[in-house]
Amino acid sequence: MTADLLYNDPALVDFYDLVNTGDAELRRCLALAGDAKSVLDLGCGTGQLAAAFADGRAVVGVDPAGAMLDVARRRPAGEHVEWVEGDARTIRIGRTFDLVMLTGHAFQVFLTREDQLAVLGTIAAHLAPGGHFLFDSRNPAVEAWRDWVPERSEEMVSHPRFGMVKGWYDARMEADGIVSYRTWYEVAATGQMLMAESKIAFPSKDEIAAGIEATGLVAESWFGDWEGGAWTPASREIIPFGRLR
Protein backbone atom coordinates (compact mmCIF):
# COMPACT_ATOMS: atom_id res chain seq x y z
CA MET A 1 0.00 0.00 0.00
CA THR A 2 1.17 3.51 -0.77
CA ALA A 3 1.22 6.09 2.02
CA ASP A 4 -2.12 7.92 2.24
CA LEU A 5 -1.63 11.66 2.81
CA LEU A 6 -4.85 11.72 4.84
CA TYR A 7 -2.89 9.97 7.60
CA ASN A 8 0.66 10.99 6.80
CA ASP A 9 0.50 14.71 5.98
CA PRO A 10 0.53 16.64 9.29
CA ALA A 11 -1.70 19.37 7.82
CA LEU A 12 -4.37 16.79 6.92
CA VAL A 13 -3.93 14.81 10.13
CA ASP A 14 -4.90 17.98 12.00
CA PHE A 15 -8.46 17.50 10.69
CA TYR A 16 -8.85 13.90 11.81
CA ASP A 17 -10.18 14.48 15.31
CA LEU A 18 -12.43 17.31 14.11
CA VAL A 19 -14.42 15.07 11.75
CA ASN A 20 -14.11 11.72 13.56
CA THR A 21 -15.55 11.90 17.08
CA GLY A 22 -16.48 8.23 17.54
CA ASP A 23 -18.36 8.72 20.82
CA ALA A 24 -20.72 5.76 20.33
CA GLU A 25 -17.79 3.61 19.21
CA LEU A 26 -15.83 4.54 22.33
CA ARG A 27 -18.72 3.75 24.66
CA ARG A 28 -19.38 0.35 23.06
CA CYS A 29 -15.70 -0.62 23.04
CA LEU A 30 -15.33 0.27 26.70
CA ALA A 31 -18.45 -1.75 27.54
CA LEU A 32 -17.27 -4.80 25.59
CA ALA A 33 -13.80 -4.59 27.14
CA GLY A 34 -15.21 -5.76 30.46
CA ASP A 35 -12.40 -6.47 32.90
CA ALA A 36 -9.67 -6.57 30.24
CA LYS A 37 -6.37 -5.49 31.79
CA SER A 38 -4.36 -5.28 28.58
CA VAL A 39 -5.39 -3.80 25.22
CA LEU A 40 -3.82 -3.75 21.77
CA ASP A 41 -5.25 -1.07 19.48
CA LEU A 42 -4.22 -1.81 15.90
CA GLY A 43 -4.59 1.13 13.51
CA CYS A 44 -4.89 3.42 16.52
CA GLY A 45 -4.65 6.63 14.47
CA THR A 46 -4.50 9.73 16.65
CA GLY A 47 -5.05 7.60 19.75
CA GLN A 48 -8.52 8.67 20.89
CA LEU A 49 -9.57 5.13 21.77
CA ALA A 50 -6.22 3.90 23.10
CA ALA A 51 -5.86 6.86 25.45
CA ALA A 52 -9.41 6.37 26.75
CA PHE A 53 -8.49 2.79 27.67
CA ALA A 54 -5.27 3.74 29.46
CA ASP A 55 -6.84 4.28 32.89
CA GLY A 56 -5.81 1.17 34.83
CA ARG A 57 -4.91 -0.91 31.78
CA ALA A 58 -1.73 -1.72 29.88
CA VAL A 59 -2.37 -0.31 26.40
CA VAL A 60 -0.34 -0.51 23.19
CA GLY A 61 -1.36 1.58 20.17
CA VAL A 62 -0.01 0.61 16.74
CA ASP A 63 -0.24 2.67 13.55
CA PRO A 64 1.88 2.89 10.39
CA ALA A 65 1.55 6.68 10.17
CA GLY A 66 4.08 8.59 12.22
CA ALA A 67 2.12 11.84 11.85
CA MET A 68 -0.91 10.23 13.51
CA LEU A 69 1.22 8.90 16.34
CA ASP A 70 2.71 12.36 16.89
CA VAL A 71 -0.82 13.57 17.69
CA ALA A 72 -1.49 10.50 19.83
CA ARG A 73 1.56 11.10 22.00
CA ARG A 74 0.47 14.68 22.74
CA ARG A 75 -3.13 13.95 23.70
CA PRO A 76 -4.28 13.74 27.35
CA ALA A 77 -3.31 10.35 28.85
CA GLY A 78 -1.11 9.72 25.83
CA GLU A 79 1.88 9.27 28.11
CA HIS A 80 0.23 6.17 29.59
CA VAL A 81 0.08 4.36 26.23
CA GLU A 82 2.94 2.57 24.49
CA TRP A 83 2.86 3.90 20.92
CA VAL A 84 4.40 1.74 18.20
CA GLU A 85 4.86 2.65 14.54
CA GLY A 86 4.11 -0.51 12.59
CA ASP A 87 2.00 -2.33 10.01
CA ALA A 88 -0.95 -4.34 11.32
CA ARG A 89 -0.31 -7.03 8.70
CA THR A 90 3.13 -7.93 9.95
CA ILE A 91 3.75 -6.49 13.41
CA ARG A 92 4.42 -8.84 16.31
CA ILE A 93 4.59 -7.22 19.75
CA GLY A 94 5.91 -10.32 21.49
CA ARG A 95 3.11 -10.59 24.04
CA THR A 96 -0.63 -11.22 24.17
CA PHE A 97 -3.58 -9.04 25.21
CA ASP A 98 -7.01 -9.42 26.76
CA LEU A 99 -8.53 -7.25 24.03
CA VAL A 100 -7.34 -6.60 20.47
CA MET A 101 -9.15 -3.84 18.57
CA LEU A 102 -9.06 -2.58 14.98
CA THR A 103 -11.68 0.16 14.75
CA GLY A 104 -12.39 3.32 12.76
CA HIS A 105 -12.96 1.14 9.66
CA ALA A 106 -9.21 0.52 9.53
CA PHE A 107 -9.90 -3.03 8.30
CA GLN A 108 -11.04 -1.52 5.00
CA VAL A 109 -7.66 -0.02 4.12
CA PHE A 110 -6.44 -3.58 3.48
CA LEU A 111 -7.49 -4.02 -0.11
CA THR A 112 -6.67 -7.64 -0.89
CA ARG A 113 -7.78 -10.94 0.57
CA GLU A 114 -4.15 -11.70 1.38
CA ASP A 115 -3.76 -8.49 3.38
CA GLN A 116 -7.06 -8.98 5.20
CA LEU A 117 -6.03 -12.49 6.25
CA ALA A 118 -2.67 -11.13 7.40
CA VAL A 119 -4.36 -8.58 9.66
CA LEU A 120 -6.68 -11.22 11.11
CA GLY A 121 -3.61 -13.38 11.70
CA THR A 122 -2.02 -10.52 13.64
CA ILE A 123 -5.15 -10.28 15.80
CA ALA A 124 -5.05 -14.03 16.48
CA ALA A 125 -1.32 -13.96 17.27
CA HIS A 126 -1.83 -11.33 19.98
CA LEU A 127 -4.92 -12.68 21.73
CA ALA A 128 -4.43 -14.04 25.24
CA PRO A 129 -6.36 -17.17 26.28
CA GLY A 130 -9.85 -15.97 27.09
CA GLY A 131 -9.21 -12.66 25.34
CA HIS A 132 -11.46 -11.00 22.77
CA PHE A 133 -11.13 -9.18 19.46
CA LEU A 134 -13.27 -6.41 18.01
CA PHE A 135 -13.19 -4.65 14.64
CA ASP A 136 -15.53 -2.93 12.19
CA SER A 137 -16.14 -2.63 8.46
CA ARG A 138 -18.87 -0.85 6.50
CA ASN A 139 -21.60 -3.07 5.05
CA PRO A 140 -21.19 -2.94 1.24
CA ALA A 141 -24.94 -3.52 0.74
CA VAL A 142 -25.63 -0.03 2.13
CA GLU A 143 -23.33 1.58 -0.48
CA ALA A 144 -22.14 4.34 1.84
CA TRP A 145 -19.80 5.68 -0.85
CA ARG A 146 -22.80 7.06 -2.77
CA ASP A 147 -23.01 9.81 -0.13
CA TRP A 148 -19.33 10.68 -0.59
CA VAL A 149 -19.99 13.24 -3.30
CA PRO A 150 -19.61 17.02 -3.00
CA GLU A 151 -23.33 17.82 -2.92
CA ARG A 152 -23.98 15.39 -0.04
CA SER A 153 -20.75 15.55 1.94
CA GLU A 154 -19.89 19.26 2.07
CA GLU A 155 -19.52 20.66 5.60
CA MET A 156 -17.85 23.58 7.35
CA VAL A 157 -15.26 22.79 10.01
CA SER A 158 -13.79 25.18 12.57
CA HIS A 159 -10.05 24.47 12.63
CA PRO A 160 -7.89 25.89 15.48
CA ARG A 161 -5.16 26.97 13.08
CA PHE A 162 -6.85 27.53 9.70
CA GLY A 163 -10.15 28.97 10.96
CA MET A 164 -13.25 27.98 8.99
CA VAL A 165 -12.60 25.29 6.42
CA LYS A 166 -14.95 23.75 3.85
CA GLY A 167 -14.55 19.99 3.48
CA TRP A 168 -16.05 17.48 1.05
CA TYR A 169 -15.45 14.11 -0.64
CA ASP A 170 -15.74 12.69 -4.11
CA ALA A 171 -15.81 8.92 -4.53
CA ARG A 172 -16.18 6.29 -7.22
CA MET A 173 -16.50 2.51 -7.21
CA GLU A 174 -13.76 0.89 -9.30
CA ALA A 175 -14.26 -2.20 -11.44
CA ASP A 176 -12.39 -4.33 -8.89
CA GLY A 177 -14.82 -3.45 -6.10
CA ILE A 178 -12.42 -0.98 -4.48
CA VAL A 179 -13.77 2.49 -3.69
CA SER A 180 -11.43 5.37 -4.55
CA TYR A 181 -12.17 8.71 -2.97
CA ARG A 182 -10.60 12.11 -2.52
CA THR A 183 -10.87 14.23 0.63
CA TRP A 184 -10.81 17.98 0.02
CA TYR A 185 -10.38 20.92 2.40
CA GLU A 186 -10.55 24.58 1.34
CA VAL A 187 -9.42 27.22 3.85
CA ALA A 188 -12.01 30.00 3.75
CA ALA A 189 -9.64 32.85 4.64
CA THR A 190 -6.92 32.06 2.11
CA GLY A 191 -8.38 29.68 -0.45
CA GLN A 192 -5.64 27.15 0.33
CA MET A 193 -6.58 23.66 -0.89
CA LEU A 194 -5.60 20.39 0.78
CA MET A 195 -6.39 17.03 -0.83
CA ALA A 196 -5.70 13.34 -0.24
CA GLU A 197 -6.52 10.33 -2.41
CA SER A 198 -7.56 7.11 -0.66
CA LYS A 199 -8.70 3.58 -1.50
CA ILE A 200 -10.73 1.22 0.68
CA ALA A 201 -12.28 -2.22 0.30
CA PHE A 202 -15.83 -3.26 1.20
CA PRO A 203 -15.70 -6.97 2.08
CA SER A 204 -19.04 -8.63 2.75
CA LYS A 205 -20.01 -10.21 6.07
CA ASP A 206 -19.56 -13.65 4.52
CA GLU A 207 -16.06 -12.75 3.35
CA ILE A 208 -15.16 -11.39 6.79
CA ALA A 209 -16.61 -14.47 8.49
CA ALA A 210 -14.58 -16.76 6.23
CA GLY A 211 -11.41 -14.82 7.08
CA ILE A 212 -12.14 -15.04 10.78
CA GLU A 213 -12.59 -18.81 10.54
CA ALA A 214 -9.46 -19.23 8.38
CA THR A 215 -7.25 -17.51 10.97
CA GLY A 216 -8.34 -19.49 14.03
CA LEU A 217 -10.83 -16.97 15.38
CA VAL A 218 -14.50 -17.27 16.32
CA ALA A 219 -17.07 -14.44 16.19
CA GLU A 220 -19.31 -14.75 19.24
CA SER A 221 -21.46 -11.74 18.27
CA TRP A 222 -22.12 -9.70 15.14
CA PHE A 223 -23.24 -6.11 15.70
CA GLY A 224 -24.73 -3.83 13.05
CA ASP A 225 -23.99 -0.53 14.77
CA TRP A 226 -22.03 0.91 17.68
CA GLU A 227 -25.18 1.16 19.78
CA GLY A 228 -25.13 -2.64 20.12
CA GLY A 229 -27.85 -3.55 17.61
CA ALA A 230 -27.65 -7.03 16.11
CA TRP A 231 -26.36 -7.26 12.54
CA THR A 232 -28.91 -7.48 9.74
CA PRO A 233 -28.40 -7.34 5.96
CA ALA A 234 -29.47 -3.67 6.10
CA SER A 235 -27.05 -2.68 8.89
CA ARG A 236 -24.57 0.08 8.12
CA GLU A 237 -21.76 -1.65 10.00
CA ILE A 238 -20.31 -5.15 10.25
CA ILE A 239 -18.80 -5.49 13.74
CA PRO A 240 -17.59 -8.93 14.84
CA PHE A 241 -16.72 -9.53 18.51
CA GLY A 242 -15.07 -12.83 19.36
CA ARG A 243 -12.18 -14.90 20.60
CA LEU A 244 -9.66 -17.55 19.65
CA ARG A 245 -11.16 -20.85 18.52
pLDDT attached to residue 1? 62
pLDDT for the residue numbered 2? 67
Cβ atoms of 105 and 200 closer than 8 Å: yes
Nearest to 103 by CA among 244, 241, 243: 241
Q: Which pLDDT does position 106 carry in this prediction? A: 97
Whole-structure pTM value: 0.95
> What's residue 127's pLDDT?
98
CATH number of the structural domain 5-139+203-244: 3.40.50.150
pLDDT at 20: 82
| Positions in the chain short of pLDDT 70 | 1-2
Taking residue 218's Cβ as centre, other Cβ atoms within 10 Å add up to 12
Round the average pLDDT of the chain to a whole number and report it.
Answer: 95
In the prediction, which pLDDT does 17 show?
A: 87
In whole angstroms, give the CA distance from residue 207 to residue 50: 28
Contact residues for 13 (Cβ-Cβ < 8 A; gap 6+) = 6, 7, 46, 65, 67, 68, 70, 71
What is the domain partition of the chain in residue ranges?
5-139+203-244, 141-200
Helix (DSSP H) and strand (DSSP E) numbers for the chain: 9, 12
- Mind listing the pLDDT tens digit for each residue in 14-69? 898 888 877 899 999 999 999 999 999 999 999 999 999 999 999 999 999 999 99
